[in-house]
């Protein structure tokens, strides 16, 4: 969410910047606290991006809210807070944007509860299950949330059951590292694209930091 623009990552100030610049969705990282609040934080510990110490899941939300999550990036962002997922969702809704949740923890019921508390539709978020069991569970609990499959590909890339399962369980896209495409020395990626598209699934490549 805007950290590539030299804003502190996973903060409301970084999200608002990219929402203003008119993107479709912003990617954020989500973890839960000791008291089961969902917050935006990439690392399992808070040391790198705040002035505190410790592991997110062992700390309370009230403690995290006392921390400075901006100064590490630039002194002008001093006082920036660690946001809750609810706060980030409300900001996204204000700008009519979406949040792509890179879930560092598996917490479908907490996501559902947060959406209900914020009175927001399930499709304001996209989720990234990294195995088929998570795909199934997410879809059962959040049937109207689009999923982006982030897990292992089948050994047989042309296995129709794999794509049918994804499609029937709310998946809209398969996500793969850009390097898979760049360094592919066979037709596997081309076959993946063909199978995905024939099943009305998109193929997303991530970590495209070099245009070439």
Backbone angles phi, psi at 183, to 5 degrees: -105, 15
Average pLDDT over residues 189-200: 96
Q: What is the mean pLDDT of the chain?
A: 95
- Give the pLDDT score at 210: 78
- Kindly report, residue by residue over 53-75, the tens digit of the pLDDT: 999 999 999 999 999 999 999 99
């Amino acid at each position: 969410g805007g950290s590539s623009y030299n804003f502190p990552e996973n903060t409301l100030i970084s999200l608002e910047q990219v929402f203003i610049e008119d993107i479709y969705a912003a990617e954020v990282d989500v973890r839960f606290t000791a008291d089961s609040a969902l917050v935006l934080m990439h690392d399992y510990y808070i040391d790198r991006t705040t002035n505190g110490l410790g592991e997110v899941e062992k700390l309370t939300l009230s403690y995290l809210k006392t921390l400075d999550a901006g100064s590490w990036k630039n002194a002008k962002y001093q006082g920036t807070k660690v946001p809750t997922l609810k706060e980030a969702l409300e900001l996204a809704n204000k700008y009519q944007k979406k949040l792509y949740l890179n879930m560092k923890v598996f917490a479908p019921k907490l996501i559902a509860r947060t959406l209900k508390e914020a009175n927001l539709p399930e499709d304001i978020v996209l989720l990234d299950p990294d195995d088929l069991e998570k795909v199934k569970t997410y879809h059962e609990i959040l049937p109207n949330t689009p999923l982006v499959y982030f897990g292992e590909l089948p050994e047989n890339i042309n296995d129709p059951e794999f794509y049918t399962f994804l499609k029937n369980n709310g998946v809209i896209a398969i996500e793969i590292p850009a390097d898979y495409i760049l360094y592919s020395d066979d037709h596997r990626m081309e076959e993946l694209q063909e199978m995905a598209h024939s099943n009305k699934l998109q193929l997303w490549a991530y970590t495209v930091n070099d245009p070439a």
